[in-house]
A and B are shown apart, each in its own frame.
Chain A
Amino acid sequence: MQTSTMTKPVSNGVNTEALLGARGAFAEMPEAAAFTFRSTCDWKDGTHSTNAINGYFGLGQNHERKETFRIDSDHPEVFAAADRAPTPPEIVLAALASCLSGGVAAVAQHRGIQLHHMRAIVEGDIDVRGILGMDPDIRNGFSAIRVSFEIDADATADEIRALVAQSQKRSAVFDLITNPTSVNVTVA
């Protein structure tokens, strides 16, 4: 029962009305729902590179943000690198955890469930003999990814499990990790 949520409005910092409004607008005009996201990656040195993320396309036009976000990547010292930033696969794990967490918050808001605390611990197993080209039977990427959520919310255990399940169902990063995506790399 969610009786405790009846007394004050639920706030997980998610504007559900705006999201539902967007659904309505995109139903009328599906073209507006076509977004393109971009990142520009400059190589620095060795395995160190910096991504600049700002502009994206959506709602029929290009958008510029107030700030350019930067994500650096590098490799740890065991791979003979300088360890100036997380590895790209770690950034993927972080992206998955953020995507699922945001999803849980949105679904909880929509379902009237107040969240108090949420933490996702994500682990990916990787056999680096794959990327080193040592064994063709070993893939480059993660052989398995585990996400463990700790959630404190005004809801039953099953309601919390349902939030996490629904979040996976609607997550962009979960989808692009669990399903193949066509990737086209060219040289300008």
Chain B
Amino acid sequence: MKRIGTLIIGAGQAGLAMSRCLSDRNIPHVVLERGEIANSWRHERWDSLRLLTPNWQSRLPGFAYQGDDPDGFMSMPEVTRFLNDYATASRATVEDRTRVLSVTRLDNGYRVATDRGDWNCGTLILATGACNVASVPALAADIPSRVDQITALDYRNPDQLAPGGVLVVGASATGVQLAAEIRAAGHEVILSAGEHIRMPRHYRGRDIQWWMDRAGIQTMQVDEVDDIDRARRVPSLQLIGSHAQRFCDLSSLAAQGVEIVGRLSAVRDGTALFSGALHNHCALSDLKMNRLLDTLDAWAEDTGLSGVGPVERFAATPCPASSRLSLYLGRGHIRTILWATGFRPDYSWLHLPVFDRKGALMHREGLVAPGLYVLGLPFMRQRNSALIDGVGADATALADHILCTRGRSAA
């Protein structure tokens, strides 16, 4: 049994940022990592993926991108290298290849059992990420067995897929990027789209992330939005980490030859049934994009911003008057279904009464229970909490809270 004041689980950007903030406050701690530093980026992403945020926006406490391409987008090997460099620069104490098996409550802290021995700690920080498990709808069980099913977590490149048609389910950033890549590789692709939000990569001559950063959209706090539960469920923007195309949205995919259908709502007798609400989902997407652009324009006007291009508006999504409502899966022309239906964290090892009715971890701005914290969840404290650029502010706030609490308990 090893003892330490503070333990962090996970050595991604969240765990490393937390480690750095604790070191800055002279709080002894250890980071447990199931695999290697940046394990998810290294092993659980598709090959062509690049960050959706430009390089300059990879800012962590005491560390930032210093390369010569601030407007570029990091590949996964580059993200891995970036986080490794951060760990080195921060002298983080990482116990790698140490998988946490269970966390239980002790009188004065937590017991963390791992496959390499147990730890007791007074303070525990969960930094295991928001995307450990692919969320797949229950109706996947009704898909005929002759159709291959693969999730976005297991997808690497189009070579993995059987020749033939692919039904991509989900049209957030993941779904649209994968639909584009698989279509470009020559497959027939049908994309099933529910709620989604299109967004231009660059606007008025600047990257959209620059706008959202400068206008304070990314750093909006939980109490600045009407309904935080809804804000946490907002799908990721339809963006791709590339300057080669302005949009990676339903319009660009349709132009590429991808067939767009509504949300997959049921599978009956081997037939996939799609919602007839595609038109409204396209309208909502256009409205949401325009609402954000209005906000950015108003901010530019108010601040007297110069050096940007003129106000732009984009053609509405050309939604077909009637989209396909059913697709028979038994005929063999759809060989693969790719689930791009979101991700969720895995806390199956967390044996504590800290979950709501639907199994989601309950927390208030990262505080789960006395001495127990979480980091890196969508809109945890502010909108960019789950981004590399946002986790630093959260880590700083939690480290201050830990410092305060320790001070009180020591006194």
Binding site for B on A (CB under 8 A): 30, 143-144, 158, 161-162, 165-166, 168-169, 174-175, 177-180
Contact = CB atoms under 8 A, between A and B. Distances in A.
A179 B265 contact: yes
Contacts of B276: 177-179
Contacts of A178: 262, 275-277
Given A175-B277, A179-B266, 15 more contacts: A30-B357, A144-B321, A158-B290, A158-B291, A162-B287, A165-B283, A165-B284, A165-B287, A169-B280, A174-B277, A178-B275, A178-B277, A179-B265, A180-B266, A180-B273
Interface of B: 195, 262-263, 265-266, 268, 273, 275-277, 280, 283-284, 287, 290-291, 321-322, 357
Nearest to B227: A23
A161 B290 CA distance: 12
Nearest to B279: A168
Contacts of A144: 321-322
A180 B268 contact: yes
Nearest to B226: A110
B79 to A, nearest CB: 35
Nearest to B280: A168
Contacts of B287: 158, 161-162, 165
14 contacts: A144-B322, A158-B287, A166-B284, A168-B277, A169-B195, A169-B280, A174-B280, A178-B262, A178-B277, A179-B265, A179-B266, A179-B273, A179-B275, A179-B277
A30 B262 CA distance: 29
Contacts of B266: 179-180
Nearest to A156: B294
**Majority secondary structure, A binding face:** helix
Given A30-B357, A158-B287, A165 B265 contact: no
B340 to A, nearest CB: 20
Contacts of B280: 165, 168-169, 174
B374 to A, nearest CB: 22
Nearest to A175: B277
A180 B264 CA distance: 10
Contact of A180 (B195, B265, B277, B322): B265
Contacts of A175: 277
A175 B195 CA distance: 14
A156 to B, nearest CB: 10
Given A158-B290, A179-B265, A180-B273, A169 B284 contact: yes
Nearest to A162: B287
A175 B283 CA distance: 16
A162 B290 CA distance: 11
- Interface pairs A-B: 5 shortest CB-CB: A178-B276, A179-B265, A178-B277, A168-B280, A180-B266
Contacts of A30: 357
B315 to A, nearest CB: 15
B121 to A, nearest CB: 34
Interface centre among A158, A165, A166 (most CB of B within 10 A): A165
A161 B283 contact: yes
A85 B322 CA distance: 30
Contacts of B291: 158, 162
A161 B287 CA distance: 8
A161 B316 CA distance: 13
A158 B263 CA distance: 24
B281 to A, nearest CB: 9
